[in-house]
Chain A
């Protein structure tokens, strides 16, 4: 500092310093446009959500006014009646059931994958494992549907019959019809959905695990903790917030899954509360796809209303999940 002052004094004595002209102020014209463009693009996210809501609502309005509130909880879809009856209660519940099953199956898998990648594998094979998980995320859902129908369903049906014969006393694994082949059940659809959301949960969990304080973990190990106790007492409590967020993100994706479970789930407009091996279930998205082909004008409106319900449901869950994930990852905020 002192040296600098001395220099300026010296320059004063020689000649007045030439004031350097800044070529651009903080708000030059170019910058204004630069930031304006960026913020228009960013606000497009709001516009997009608003547009989706508005246009879905416009087209769903006829169905909403004619069906009223029973649209959400009723159990009948009959297009031969006059006036037409459209109710999607079992579909909404089916979506929730399949999504919940998917989350239940996927969460242990995702957590153990993240643990393996972050804490057990050397860095090179950890990278390879990450690539494999990303590849799983990149599998198009229609391919999973194809595989699910021809390859996975027979295996899963075998598992279902085993579950039913050994733990069939448990209400969850009961079936009402004895000989149904165990095909097309929420159990199978739940597994397909689980495969789709494992990468989503894994990516969040892995990042949180890798950002954990290594000193904390090493300290716990040095105190004589085993991997299990360190996981239970140190790793899990410190990362559970983000894991919950990741699981919710996965749930949001599971609720909206369409094509992958379209072929492996038998849709039925009859509530299947929790008999997960029974070949009847529901999924709003799959229902929309299956009815769309030969839908009348009124039915299209009903399907769009179903889409609106699905959108509001998933947007709510995803928004909550994003808030949780962002709060649990403070290192992301700048």
Chain B
């Protein structure tokens, strides 16, 4: 009885204890070293990040990888370091946006700012007076009207894309996706030329119409995904029991896909709530509160931010940041709601239970 010679590499062998310290050193040393270099030589931080830290980290990680797994380890660690570096970069950008919003917006944030409108407020008025109340009302009304019209339309499109046997489905889907890239300024120009051609006055209603083409593709696409998640067997079972298609949809598929459909609506609202260009082109701005969406001037949050953004006066800049924080909170609320919904959905158990009870 003779055994083959033991291979030199033993994947099952216990991990070398010194490897932990190697990994530790490789992840700490480059950072400390580049920090020291910046500290002592006064090298520009940005330059040091790319010129010193990244190469050092790549070399260190590759070295550890080589010691552990040979040439394969070099490729592993190279890719990992690069991917983590670039992803962290995106994370830093996102954190920077949110952090500056919170820190700058907090200066203006108060109950007065949330509730009052901007009558008698000039560029230099202190933040004790005036606020975004009228803009919040305007935004909610305009976005609300768009939502009421767009949601049935988008859901019907999703129904067409999932339930019907039509041949133009692929084309409709492609076109919907193509419309989702419609530049927002073009949506505004479209409604503006419509109004110019037909002789309509600019008003909140036109703003709602301009937002529709921007919201529709989002609602249709996400709703389609949600409907597609419902097992097709459920529908076939309903049809086999003699239900017509529309009852199969309303009584079986719709309840099963409910949370996904609500997500579609919320994402659609989140998509348009911050749209600026179409509203600037179609809705005349207003410093007072207006409840009339069908005529007259109206203020919206994005237009408010846009108006104060470029000002050289500090109170006005603070107003812009404060309004941006309010807008971001609205978006975050919508977003949190979709997360909660998508967490609580239990697609597989829910529909069967409902069917069993009927």
Which residues of chain A have a CB within 8 Å of any CB of chain B?
22-24, 28, 30-31, 33-35, 37-46, 48-49, 51-52, 55-56, 58-60, 108-109, 112-113, 115-116, 120, 129, 131-136, 138-147, 149-152, 155, 158-159, 162, 166, 195, 198, 224-229, 231, 249, 252-253, 255-259, 263, 285, 288-289, 292, 300, 303-304, 307, 310-311, 314-315, 317-319, 321-323, 325-326, 333-334
A258 to B185, CA, bound (A): 7
Closest to B304 in A: A142
Residue of B nearest to A41 (CB): B156
**Other-chain residue from B100, B170, B216 in contact with A150 (beta carbon distance below 8 A):** B100
Q: Is there an interface contact between B97 and A144, defined as CB atoms closer than 8 Å?
A: yes
Q: Assess the A228–B306 pair: CB atoms within 8 A.
A: no
Say which residue of B80, B170, B193 sits within 8 Å of A59 (CB atoms): B193
User: Nearest CB to that of B166 among chain A residues?
Assistant: A39
Main SS class of interface, B:
helix
CB contacts (< 8 Å) of A24 on chain B: these are 242-244
- The majority secondary structure among interface residues of chain A is helix
Interface residues of B in 154-198 (CB under 8 A from A): 154, 156-157, 159-164, 166, 168, 170, 172-186, 189-190, 192-194, 196-197
**A138, A166, A310, most chain B CB atoms within 10 A:** A138
The answer to the question of B89 belonging to the interface, with a C-beta cut-off of 8 Å to chain A, is yes
Cβ of A158 and Cβ of B186 under 8 Å apart?
Answer: no
Residues of B with C-beta under 8 A to A120: 80, 83
* A285 with B320, Cβ < 8 A, contacts A30-B244, A147-B97, A227-B79 known: no
Centre residue among A59, A140, A310 by max chain B CB count within 10 A? A140
Q: Are A59 and B181 in contact (CB-based, < 8 A)?
A: no
- The interface residues of chain A lying within 8 Å CB-to-CB of B275 are 140-141
- Which of B29-37, B129-137, B324-332, B345-353 lies at the interface with chain A? B324-332
B296 at the interface (CB under 8 A from A): no
Minimum Cβ distance to chain A for residue B84 (Å): 7
Tell me whether A195 and B93 are in contact (CB under 8 A).
Answer: yes
Question: A152 vs B95: C-alpha distance in the bound complex, in angstroms?
Answer: 12
Query: Given the interface contacts A132-B94, A140-B273, does A227 sit within 8 Å of B75 by beta carbon?
Result: yes
- B101 close to A (CB within 8 Å): yes
Residues in chain A near residue B332, CB distance under 8 A: 135
- The residue on A at minimum CB distance from B303 is A142
B71:A226 contact, CB within 8 angstroms: yes
**B204: Cβ under 8 A from any A Cβ:** no
- Chain A residue contacts of B94, Cβ below 8 A: 132, 135-136
Q: Is the CB of A146 within 8 A of B244?
A: no
Contact B89 A307 (CB under 8 A): no
* Residues on A with beta carbons closer than 8 Å to the beta carbon of B179: 45, 48-49, 318
Q: A147 contacts which of B100, B162, B180 (Cβ < 8 Å)? A: B100
A55 touches B157 (CB 8 A): no
Measured between C-beta atoms, what is the minimum distance from B126 to chain A in Å?
Answer: 20
Q: B residues touching A (Cβ–Cβ < 8 Å)?
A: 44, 46-47, 71-76, 78-80, 82-84, 86-87, 89-91, 93-94, 96-97, 100-101, 104, 152-154, 156-157, 159-164, 166, 168, 170, 172-186, 189-190, 192-194, 196-197, 213, 216, 228, 242-247, 249, 270-271, 273-277, 280-281, 302, 305-306, 309-310, 317, 320-321, 324, 327-328, 331-332, 334-335, 339
A37: which of B156, B194, B216, B305 is its contact (CB, 8 Å)? B156
A109 to chain B, nearest CB (A): 5
A-B contact pairs, 14 of them (CB 8 A): A35-B160, A112-B87, A134-B335, A135-B332, A138-B331, A139-B97, A142-B324, A151-B97, A226-B75, A227-B76, A288-B185, A314-B183, A323-B174, A325-B177
* A140 x B190 contact (CB < 8 A): no
Flag if A292 contacts B245 (CB, 8 Å). Answer: no
Other than the given A140-B327, A225-B72, 9 more pairs (CB < 8 A) read A38-B164, A48-B216, A140-B276, A140-B328, A141-B274, A142-B327, A147-B100, A259-B184, A263-B309
Contacts of A325 in B (CB 8 A): 177
A113 touches B86 (CB 8 A): yes
Question: Once the chains are docked, how many angstroms separate the CA of A115 from the CA of B87?
Answer: 10
Docked pose: A195 CA to B95 CA in angstroms: 12
Residues of B within 8 A of A155 (CB): 46
Contact at B193–A304, with CB atoms within 8 Å? yes
CA distance A227 to B249 in the complex (A): 46
Question: A140 to B274, Cβ gap below 8 A?
Answer: yes
Known: A59-B197, A147-B97. A315 touches B178 (CB 8 A): yes
Give the distance to chain A from B140, nearest Cβ to Cβ, in Å: 15
Bound together, the chains give a CA A154 to CA B243 distance in angstroms of 64
Query: Closest A-chain residue to B177, C-beta based?
Result: A322
In the bound complex, residues from chain B placing their C-beta under 8 Å from that of A45 are 157, 172, 175-176, 179, 216
| Complex A-B, nearest 4 residue pairs according to Cβ-Cβ distance, in ascending order | A140-B274, A256-B183, A226-B75, A41-B156
> Please, which residue of chain A has its CB at the minimum distance from the CB of B331?
A138
Complex contact A289–B277 (CB within 8 A): yes
Cβ–Cβ contact B86 & A109, under 8 A: yes
A51 touches B181 (CB 8 A): no
B189 touches A288 (CB 8 A): yes
Residues of B contacting A158 in the complex (Cβ-Cβ under 8 angstroms):
44, 46
Complex Cα–Cα for A120 and B246 (A): 44
Tell me which of B86, B156, B161, B273 contacts A112 (CB under 8 A): B86
